[in-house]
Amino acid sequence: MAFGKLTIDWRSTIAAVWRSNRHFLKPITNVDLVNPDTLMGIDEQKDALFRNTENFLRGKPASHALLWGARGVGKSSLIKALLTRYHTYGLRMIQIPKEDLHLLVDITDEIVDSHHRFIIYCDDLTFEESNGEYRMLKSTMEGTLEKPPANVLIYGTSVCRRLTPAQLSVDDSSLSPSSDLEESLSLSDRFGLSLPFSQMSEETYLGIIDNLFKGRVQDTDLLHQEAISFAAERGGPSGRAARHFFNHCHTS
């Protein structure tokens, strides 16, 4: 696969990222391979996404996936964990910023004939209503005159299920059923798999803390008190807060 001056050998490259400023697809040599077993409190979401991805790899019907909800509870980490689990089965991943979604067709044209199967990963997938990138996303997922590529799925994350803001009243008689507003608001419905993520419980948070600090501390009660206080100052318990607390304790 060639973009700019680079050619990617997907036999040895399991992930790549689109670099907007230099307009090329960069192979990732140091992939952040997240261990699925470290992701706590999201077992239902994990099982659903694993089943969908396994169906995809086997050539069975599978859906584009939207992971939405609370921040810092494992949405992006769960998508990364797919590479850890499935890259030896031919799964490859391309991360693209939402600002460059207009390039989706170009990217998929380059990989459509590959024997590998690709997840196009887009983090923080939200749009302004004046922004037309969602149309390119919709076309890639559903196809136009050309069928969508069978070896490509789109997995995105968002803090909200609705990917565009609703700024106009649904009673506005000037809006037709085919209006841009209605089209943009229905984008989230194009994802066949919608996985909600709730705010992490304190119990799950402390379980992550215990795993991170296993064998490192003697006073667990004091550790938990400090960890809870740390999370309270950062929007509540989350996997992200747990990692930040761990790093804080080892740098202070």
Q: Region 214-241: what's the mean pLDDT?
A: 92
Residues 166-208 pLDDT 10s: 443 444 444 444 455 455 445 667 788 999 999 999 999 999 9
Residues 201-221 pLDDT 10s: 999 999 999 999 988 888 999
What number of other Cβ atoms are within 10 A of residue 241's Cβ? 26
Entry pTM: 0.82
Q: Tell me the two tokens of residue 124.
A: 């923080």
Residues 84-103 pLDDT 10s: 999 999 999 999 988 888 88
- Cα-based distances in Å from 12 to 28, 56, 88, 92: 11, 21, 10, 10
